[in-house]
Amino acid sequence: METIIVTGGAGYIGSHTIIELLNKTIFQIVSIDNFSNSSPDSYSRISALTTRPFETIQVDLCDHVLLNQKLSYYSNIIGIIHFAAFKSVSDSISDPIKYYHNNINSLNNILDFAKQQNVLNFIFSSSCSVYGNSKDLPVTENSPLQKAESPYGHTKQISEEIISFFCKTNPSFKTVLLRYFNPVGAHPSGKNGEFPINIPNNLVPIITQTAIGKNSLTVFGNDYNTRDGSCIRDYIHVCDIADAHLKALNYLIQHHEKKQCSLFNLGTGNGVSVLEAIKSFEKITNQKLHYKIGERRTGDVIAIYANNELAKTELNWIPQYNIDDMMLSAWKWENHLEEQNTK
Ligand code: UD1
């Protein structure tokens, strides 16, 4: 059976993508995760939303020897989707070495495995953080990359370069780099969503946790040069991101790709400020959210949103969800977690 390896498959975007792969393709799916920011419960949630079994491997991708040993049981691997990475901008500023070590070594090891086993199709989770504080809004894939604002963003810039050089020396290897903007929201069922083991520092989980009484929201800065003073981001529903991976896989496997190393922005194209995101949440849940205004956060870019025309035309990918849908699904998920806790 043709096999797809998904690294970071127990994580937020990985788990939503596995749900789509199991429901919409016939590939055997093998998830690799070390649960550094997730838990095996994620696999139970995937199983509850799908009807096919999938395989799981618990291994740290930085452990080269063990990784190769555990993967040696699988043959006919036709593609790798590499999600596994640390992803917190603020953590990366506090502990840069941890980010360079994990994000770069895991990529090197999985690329080395691909080379040894002749796996030819590779999809990589990049980020809009590679653009830094771009003056070119909306950013296109050709916008010049500015200096990264955080070690996290820098690891994504370095990773893109590693993959690009790897492609040059391995001409049959084909890759799609997906630059996610800000993935948020949850599965429409409300039964899978972001479940970080470490304290979340992304906006949407903090909004929903604040509304349910488990956290308190501070808006990081209201004195930026933006329409309401708060930072602007391009929030994109996690299921739209998952869908883009299926389209990227098809693009590679069906040989529709025009370049050996293709690059796509995954955003809606709409910039939404932090205060507008809060208003959307208040509107769809019909409640007032209590928050305070705080200092700017180190490492934040001021404003970024995507030109997504290339993904639309080349991958045939059209985002389906707007900011209200994203907030509603995230709220449904937060309530689901609360129900589980009180059972
Ligand atoms: C960054 C990356 C994004 C990546 C994500 C992974 C950029 C531009 N984006 O998102 O591609 O997927 O990391 O973690 O680098 N905020 C508050 N209060 C809070 C939390 C956040 O005001 O308690 C604000 C932030 O200042 C920011 C916005 O909300 O303006 C979004 O922040 P967050 O959700 O943490 O994502 P980014 O750091 O933008």
The pLDDT mean for the chain works out to 96
Q: Note the pLDDT of residue 258.
A: 87
What pTM, to 2 d.p., does this model score?
0.97
What's 128's DSSP letter? G
* 12 has catalytic annotation: no
Among protein residues, the one with the nearest Cα to ligand 1's atom 26 is: 220
Q: 86, 103, 126, 127: which to mutate for ligand 1, most atoms within 8 A of CB? A: 127
Write the CA distances from 301 to 50, 148, 230, 329, integer angstroms.
Answer: 38, 9, 11, 26
pLDDT tens per residue across span 34-54 = 999 999 999 999 999 999 999
Counting from 1 in the atom list of ligand 1, the atom nearest the Cα of 297 is 26
State phi, psi for 263 to the nearest 5 degrees.
-135, 130
Q: Which residue puts its alpha carbon closest to atom 35 of ligand 1?
A: 202
What is the per-residue pLDDT across 2-14, written as a single tens digit (0 to 9) for each?
Answer: 999 999 999 999 9
Ligand 1 centre distance from Cα of residue 154 (Å): 15
Point out which residues pair with 266 in neighbouring strands.
Answer: 180
- Predicted confidence (pLDDT) per residue in 106-154, tens digit: 999 999 999 999 999 999 999 999 999 998 999 999 999 999 999 999 9
**Is 199:271 a contact under the CB 8 Å cutoff?**
no
Kindly state the tokens that stand for 10.
């127990």
The span from the CA of 295 to the CA of 86, in Å, is: 24
Quote the ligand 1 centre to 191 CA distance (angstroms): 24
Residue 342 pLDDT level (bands cut at 50, 70, 90): confident
Q: Is the pLDDT score of 198 beyond 90?
A: no
Is 257 a residue whose pLDDT tops 90?
no
Tokens of 134: 């771009």
Nearest-atom index, ligand 1, CA of 183? 12
Determine the distance separating the centroid of ligand 1 and the alpha carbon of 264, expressed in angstroms.
20
Q: Which residues contact 318 (CB under 8 A, 6 or more apart)?
A: 312
The per-residue pLDDT for 256 is 87
Give the C-alpha distances (Å, rounded to integers) separating 103 from 109, 122, 234.
10, 16, 24
Select from 156, 179, 184 the least CA-distant residue to 266.
179
